[in-house]
Amino acid sequence: MSRSVAVVGSGAAGLAAALAAASGGAKVTVYEKAPLLGGTTVLSGGNAWLPAHDGLPDDSPELARAYLRSLALGDADEQLTDVFAHEAGPAARRLESETPLRWQAIPYCDYHAEFEGGRPQGGRTLEPQPFDPDPAVAAMIRSAPNITGPITYTELATGDIDREALAARRERGTLTLGKALVGALLTACLEAGVQVSAGVRVTERPDADAVVLATGGFERDPQLIRTFLRGPMLAPVGAPGATGDGLRLAMAEGAALGTMSEAWWCPAIQIPGEQIDGMTMSRLILTERARPGSMIVNSQGRRFVNEAQNYNDLGRALQDFDPSRYTFRNVPAYLVFDSAYRQRYRLGPLAARDPDPAWLAKGATVAQLAEAIGAPPAALEQAVERFNVYAAAGEDPDYDRGKYAYDRFIGSIGPLGGGPYYAVRVVPGCLATKGGPRIDADGRVLSMTDGRPIPGLYAAGNVSASFLGMAYPGAGGTLGPALTFGLRAGDAAAAD
């Protein structure tokens, strides 16, 4: 008689686990508390950091391992690091062989490419190619209000966008980014006989031979945030369903916990009136902060960070505590930019051709902009003047903007030109939390009392303790491990 496996959560980790368990002969049911599937994965770029995949003949598990170990700060797990380094490539291959998912590499360098084993030339990050699902499958997937259309990350990164191709994708119902990843995984799961039960919240351990937790993080639960997370964290970017259900279930089973104070940090903006599932929506700012004619300052009008560094580390910089003023000195911060920037670039949902919205602070001069955001005019004028002197030569002696491969990949440095000048409020956010039950190499949840696997309980993705500790190796650093360990957890759940 086949084993029964309950998978709680329908993002990348959950669907990968469900597919693996079904392929192993188990009777699998996926439970999702939202009425539609996909969770935070749908809201993401769908990128997966999967080193040493078949398309990178000059990469290796050994290089990936060296790179990940060079980033090991905080609560990192060397054993799981080694497993991931060796299994990420095979996981990418397996997903292509068992699902309609087809990968394409994007020209995205590692976030710390200068470290041992890092890749300035990129290639470790894979994204799903556009996917045309069955309409019935597409109807099961949640919406992504933060994404404007069926564009790929490669097109966004290169700026090579075929408007006619986009129109054709809309007409066909083509999925891209996180939706394409979920659509391909879900298609394979359904074909493998996986049952899906949406709109069902799981608060107790399901009656099954094995349970795989894949509910995402706890960034949407204020009490859990106050209890566990270092902060402040004011803008969760993930799906509203990430309220820690899986964490609570694991704690009730006596699970050991890890990485509880960490998250996938980011700078975020919140547009008045924008909502997701009836809750405030937050947007990660990515390339917006790395373009010429822009800089980031705090409420004192002072610059404090390399604006072009990876969003995880920039998010940390927003959390700097000032003991003399007993406040977080960089909350809020402001992305400041000139009129040329405004006329050329998109900012979140705001296109260059759109009229200036009320949420965008504006001033004819730098001093007037400072008054609009409540910063000391002299301090902001001084910060802009100093930044411009060096930026005109492509330099940044204060914070090394443009020195690193990732900086140069997502943008360039240039002085602020003429007015009017603009600013948008930036606050510390996160894509998801990183803490949860500790797992072994096969996704088995470990006991707090003796460190042994809790019988029949598994976890993968953001619900589990990240083996990376403080690190964020590259674009897709969340989904790469989620898929890899989701597959391993599903295999083990079907076989144990």
DSSP secondary structure string, 280-315? E--EE--GGGGSTTEEEEETTS-B-S-TTS-HHHHH
Query: Is 359 contained in some domain?
Result: yes
DSSP E strands in 71-213: the ranges are: 103-105, 125-128, 195-198, 210-213
H or E segment to which residue 336 belongs: strand 333-337
| pLDDT at residue 308, rounded to an integer | 97
Q: Are residues 455 and 408 in the same domain?
A: no
Q: Are residues 20 and 64 in the same domain?
A: yes
Q: Are residues 205 and 186 in the same domain?
A: yes
Domain limit, last residue, from 377, 399, 430:
430
Q: Are residues 296 and 194 in the same domain?
A: no
Q: Are residues 350 and 462 in the same domain?
A: no
List the CATH number of the domain containing 375.
3.90.700.10
Q: Are residues 424 and 438 in the same domain?
A: no
Kindly report the length of the chain. 496
Q: Are residues 389 and 329 in the same domain?
A: yes
H helix intervals, 24-161: 39-43, 61-70, 78-98, 135-138, 153-158
Query: Is 408 contained in some domain?
Result: yes
Q: Are residues 382 and 469 in the same domain?
A: no
Q: Are residues 422 and 439 in the same domain?
A: no
Q: Are residues 45 and 117 in the same domain?
A: yes
Give the torsion through C-alpha atoms of 171, 177, 178, 180, to 10 deg.
Answer: 50
List the CATH number of the domain containing 159.
3.50.50.60
Per the CB < 8 A criterion, the answer to whether 210 and 496 are in contact is yes
Domain limit, last residue, from 403, 430, 457:
430
Which residues are within 8 A (CB) of 245 and not within 5 positions of it... i.e. 6 or more apart? 8, 33, 201, 202, 203, 215
Domain limit, last residue, from 430, 458, 477:
430
| pLDDT at residue 155, rounded to an integer | 86
Per the CB < 8 A criterion, the answer to whether 100 and 15 are in contact is no
Q: Distance (Å, rounded) from C-alpha 256 to C-alpha 260?
A: 11
Query: Is 155 contained in some domain?
Result: yes
Q: Are residues 417 and 438 in the same domain?
A: no
Closest CA to 225 of 199, 244, 251, 200: 244
Q: Distance (Å, rounded) from C-alpha 337 to C-alpha 291?
A: 9
Helical packing angle, 479-495 and 12-23, nearest 10°: 30
Query: Is 100 contained in some domain?
Result: yes
Which residues are within 8 A (CB) of 243 and not within 5 positions of it... i.e. 6 or more apart? 218, 220, 221, 224
Query: Is 250 contained in some domain?
Result: no
Q: What is the pLDDT along the chain (496 residues), one digit of tens a residue?
A: 789 999 999 999 999 999 999 999 999 999 999 999 999 999 999 999 999 999 999 999 999 999 999 999 888 999 999 999 999 999 999 999 999 999 999 988 999 999 999 999 999 999 999 999 999 999 999 999 999 889 998 888 777 778 898 999 999 999 999 999 999 999 999 999 999 999 999 999 999 999 999 999 999 999 999 999 988 999 999 999 999 999 999 999 999 999 999 999 999 999 999 999 999 999 999 999 999 999 999 999 999 999 999 999 999 999 999 999 999 999 999 999 999 999 999 999 999 999 999 999 999 999 999 999 999 999 999 999 999 999 999 999 999 999 999 999 999 999 999 999 999 999 999 999 999 999 999 999 999 999 999 999 999 999 999 999 999 999 999 999 999 999 999 999 999 9
Question: Could you identify the residue written with the tokens 């911060």?
Answer: 333
Q: Which domain holds residue 399?
A: 267-430
Q: Please give the C-alpha separations between residue 76 and each of 370, 435, 452, in angstroms, as whole numbers.
A: 42, 11, 19
Q: Distance (Å, rounded) from C-alpha 46 to C-alpha 25?
A: 28
Query: Is 338 contained in some domain?
Result: yes
Q: Are residues 41 and 110 in the same domain?
A: yes
> In the chain, how many domains are there?
2
Query: Is 47 contained in some domain?
Result: yes
Query: Is 78 contained in some domain?
Result: yes
